[in-house]
Structure 1
Amino acid sequence: MKRLATFFLVAILLLLSSCSTGPERSPGGSAPSVSVSQGAAGSTESMERTPPSQQDTKEREEQQNMDDKRTIRIVMDSGEILVELDDHPGAQALYDLLPLELSFEDYNSTEKIAYLDDELATYGSPDNCDPEVGDLCYYIPWGNLCFFYQDFRHSESLVPLGTVISGGELLEQLDSQPMVTVESAD
């Protein structure tokens, strides 16, 4: 009986000494990051370990998402309009069509519209929006792009594609020349 008690005591001491040697090292040699949350009384309620490789991957993905912002340029005689595209399949489909030569016309003293030769693939994209000044959208039933230079009401079958980030003052002039060039600004 005395031997059994001694065995358990030695096992507990070995276990405690191995726990106090510091954080485990990953195969790459760096310590994993530790996230600690404090409870109401200030005690540690949970500890979440993120292996370095997962943490690095997450940081790279976040940086890539910031770098993946697609910007297009609408080139006119009087200047250019820069549009940051949204992150969904419809906006990507427009980006994939570039470069384009388009002819814009005024519609309803609210927007400038241009028809695309082919239907834009919008599956998986928002199919309604409440457009504001500077919004670029795609109207599914007619197959046209539309730049809003006036606010408009909520509309179904109107896919938001992006927002003007520069040159918004030129929107009303989009129909002043026969053709404009739409190209990648990246």
Structure 2
Amino acid sequence: MGRSPAPWDGEFSQYFARNARALRTTAYLLCHDWHRAEDIAQAALLKLYVAWPRLSRHDALDAYARRVVVRTFLADNRRALHRREHLTDTPPEPPSATGDPDQRVVLAEALSAVPPRQRAVLVLRYYNDLSVEETAHVLRCSTGTVKSQAARGLATLRQRLEVTCATTTSASSSTRSTTDRR
């Protein structure tokens, strides 16, 4: 005998169908690993499901769900022994078809060099397009903290991108000069 479904199962299922992919993408931008992003999104959705009957403002679910994803990522990052290997027969989810794939890879690598808390601010502010106030609410910090973390995160990102671009430029220059000598 199985348990009977909760009265809110249908409502939650609809929310899940509409938002699971966006939450997984947000998690991916935070951790740069599709398998870990899937774990983070599933954990966040499980927490959301458990809290569902207590949530009085269903109009604010997206903000609440993003907050749970970010907090799950940050909590997961604080665990010292998190590094696990995940073996699977299925390939990772393909990236979207928009933009230059090489630029996305360079940006993802540079973003991974940004500390986790700053990365969370950058993803919420510039990918999820949240205001400073909304980001502060999600992270439960002051707007000043969001601004300083964003400034530091952007500085780290710029520095990393400058190094990557300089390396790429010098590598392509040396390749061209080697080709020209032939």
Bin of the TM-score, shorter chain as denominator length:
under 0.3
Question: Which is helix-richer, 1 or 2?
Answer: 2
Question: Which is strand-richer, 1 or 2?
Answer: 1
Which is greater in Rg? Answer: 1
* Superposition TM-score, scaled by structure 2 size: 0.21
* Superposition TM-score, scaled by structure 1 size: 0.21
